[in-house]
Amino acid sequence: MQILVVDDEGIVLKSCKRVLESEGFEVILANSAYEALVAIDHDPPSLFLIDVKMPVHDGMYLIKELKQRGNDVPIIVMSGYSTNETIKEAELMGASRFLAKPFTPYELLETVREVIERR
């Protein structure tokens, strides 16, 4: 089970990797939308964990790109500033779940498991 985490903040990437790997998931990290798009060509993941607010291209752009490429891998959107509009927009674009930062390891794992099970 491979999960691609996209965030411009190193500490978030590191935290996710630490929690998810401890539970046996395979984690790929990308610190920008561009990096993420390059990464999926080499190694297509089975789950995306995408931050909304990033410099240059944001998370919404990335989701749009993925959907355009016909990628229907489930997506979890996370943000430190969770407004109703952001959540709704993300869901509209095809995100499976929304995860508000900051989150505890338990919250992260629960969300990931829910999405996988639903699939």
Partner 1 sequence: MLHSTRFKLIFSFLIVSFLVGGISLFIGGHLLYKTVLREATNQAKLALSAAADVYRTNIKYVNVALNITTLGMGFRSSFIDRDLPDLIDRIERMSGYAGLDFAGIVTQSGTTLCRTGPNSRLEDTGQIENPIAQYVITHHQPASGTIVLTLAFMTRENPDLSDRIQFYPIQIDSPKKTAQDEQQGCMAIAAAIPIFEHRTSGELLGVLYGGIVLNHSTGIVDSARKSVFFDEIQQEISMPTATILFNTIRIATNMIDENGLRAVGTRVSEDVKQEVLVRGKQWTQTHFYLTDQYIAAYEPITDIFGKRVGMLSIAILESNYSAVQRKVILFFIITTLMGAIVAVCMGYFLARRITAPVTRLIKASWDVSKGNTASDIGPISKDKEIAILQKTFKNMVEAMKRRRMASESQILQSEKQASVGRLAAGVAHEINNPLTGVLTYTHMLLRREDISDDIRSDLRVVAESTDRVRKIVKGLLDFSRQTKLDPEPTDINRLLDDTIKLIENQALLKGVSIQFNRREDMPMIVLDQSQIQSVLLNIMINALDATKPSGAITISSTLDLIANGPGHPGIEISIEDTGCGMPQEYLTQIFDPFFSTKEVGKGTGLGLSVSFGIVKEHGGNIRVQSEIGKGSKFFVWLPIEKQVNQNANFSRG
Q: Does 50 participate in binding partner 1 (rule CB under 8 A)?
A: no
By C-alpha distance, which of 65, 47, 55, 61 is closest to 111? 47
Residue 98: in which H helix or E strand, if any?
strand 97-100
Q: Does 113 participate in binding partner 1 (rule CB under 8 A)?
A: no
Window contacting partner 1 (CB under 8 A); options: 25-33, 36-44, 54-62, 74-82: 74-82
Window contacting partner 1 (CB under 8 A); options: 38-46, 54-62, 89-97, 102-110: 102-110
What is the maximum alpha-carbon separation in the chain?
Answer: 35
Nearer to partner 1 by Cβ, of 32 and 71: the residue is 32
| Integer Cα distance of 77 and 6 in angstroms | 10
Q: Is 119 exposed, middle or buried (0-12, 13-18, 19+ CB in 10 A)?
A: exposed
Among 24, 84, 92, 118, binds partner 1 (CB under 8 A): 84
Residue 47: in which H helix or E strand, if any?
strand 47-51
Q: Does 14 participate in binding partner 1 (rule CB under 8 A)?
A: yes
Which residues here bind partner 1, judged by CB under 8 A? 7, 9, 11-12, 14-16, 18-19, 22, 53, 80-85, 101-106, 108
